[in-house]
Amino acid sequence: MMTHALILADVEGIAEIYNLANMEECSKMYTQEIETCVLVLLENGVDKITVCDVHDRGDQINPKIARKGMFEKGEVRLVSRVDGIPFDSKYDFAFLIGFHGMSDTPGILPHTLRFDFKEIAVVDQRSRINIPIGEVEIYTRWLGSYGIPVMLVAGDREATYEANCFNPYRQTCCIKSYFQTNHFNTISMHDKLSQSLLSSLKLEKSLCLTPDDGEILIEFHNPDITQALVDKGCCKEDDRILFSCCADLVNNLYPLVEILQELNQEMWASNVAFLQTIKTLAKPLKREDLENSEIGPLLNNNLLFIDASSREKIMSKIQSLV
């Protein structure tokens, strides 16, 4: 019987990548790490592999520099973004390679899906407590909704920690850590990753399957975005946007992103105009007095994150001083 594996790959958790300033070099290291995984699987009983590049537009894995033309062979298929994954055939298991920690964790390049998402949380079914999750848990639950077990999660320390928070059984492979003191070359870490892949193939698949059974809540840095999304038909709970489960979120992610891009453009233009007005009103005032006042942090905030309440506080303070 043919064995078909699915690899979800991301850039930030790849060995030796600590910033994204040189994307050409990042793409090279990214491709090399993914091809290492593909070769190990092909050489150890996996007949077919679908690799999904989930980073941004999904175009950072470079087939032209891969060894042995692996992405040109019939047994290896490369797709872009999670909405490009074909489910026309059954995947026996999945691997998450190159993943990173969630927002506000001591990871390397930590974030959760988008810069304007402050937090994504799953509502625990037993305690009804909101538990913050990152891309690792979001994708493992989404794959679980298709009956696909995640056998291995590889990436930075925070990603591997998250991978075992809800399922201590699955294999993890820490490629790098924010706190590491010794330098390990890429070859050494790829050898470690290869051994972890082999170990994961020996696990009981059913124990690596994660149920997608909790509601998902998204909190934004700018609370005005939440209400704008509600006005466009999204559901809200406790001032957060509500999805019924991770599958609901992932399957609607890119339409949501398109709406957010429009809202952010409107928010940017509105706040640029507002700050121009403030600069005109504040001309008689000293810059350091404003920076050291209670509105200093608001004025220094990301333009996209200045909400209506913050604008009101800024305007009120300026008017009281002039």
Q: What is the mean pLDDT of the chain?
A: 93
Extents of the domains making up the chain: 4-110+135-208, 256-322
Residue-wise DSSP of 149-187: -EEEEEEEHHHHHHHHHS-TTSEEEEEE-TT--S---HH
The per-residue b/e assignment along 192-213, b for 16 or more CB within 10 angstroms, e otherwise, is bbbebbeebbebeeeebbbebe
Given this model, what pLDDT does residue 73 score?
Answer: 65
Distance between CA atoms of residues 148 and 211, nearest Å: 10
Average pLDDT over residues 29-53: 95
Q: Which residues pair with 247 in a beta bridge?
A: none
Give the single-character DSSP code of 112.
B
Average pLDDT over residues 145-150: 98
The SS3 assignment for 280 reads helix
More confident of the two residues 183 and 23: 23
Average pLDDT over residues 272-292: 87
Is-contact 50 93, C-beta < 8 A?
no
Given this model, what pLDDT does residue 201 score?
Answer: 97
Residue-wise DSSP of 221-276: SSHHHHHHHHHTT-EEETTEEEESSHHHHHHTHHHHHHHHHHHHHHHHHHHHHHHH
Helix axes 157-165, 135-145, angle to 10 degrees: 40
Average pLDDT over residues 251-272: 96
pLDDT band at 143 (very low <50, low <70, confident <90, very high): very high
What amino acid is encoded at 146 in this protein? Y
CB atoms within 10 A of CB 166: 18
Is-contact 245 233, C-beta < 8 A?
no
Half-sphere exposure of 98 (CA within 13 A, CB side): 29
Given this model, what pLDDT does residue 292 score?
Answer: 86
pLDDT tens for residues 183-208? 889 999 999 999 999 999 999 999 99
Given this model, what pLDDT does residue 243 score?
Answer: 97
Is-contact 91 64, C-beta < 8 A?
no
Options 3.40.30.10, 3.40.50.720, 3.40.50.10600, 3.40.50.10780; CATH of 4-110+135-208:
3.40.50.10780
Span of 46-50, 73-77, 234-238, 271-275 with lowest mean pLDDT? 73-77
And the tokens for 98? Answer: 């190159």
Residue that has been written with the tokens 């009281």 in this structure = 320
In 3D space, the residue among 158, 185, 150 whose CA is nearest the CA of residue 174 turns out to be 158
pLDDT band at 126 (very low <50, low <70, confident <90, very high): confident
pLDDT band at 8 (very low <50, low <70, confident <90, very high): very high
Average pLDDT over residues 129-133: 95
Average pLDDT over residues 127-148: 96
Given this model, what pLDDT does residue 69 score?
Answer: 65
pTM (2 decimals)? 0.94
pLDDT tens for residues 57-114? 999 998 888 776 677 667 899 999 999 999 988 999 999 999 999 999 998 999 999 9
> Percent of the chain having pLDDT more than 90?
81
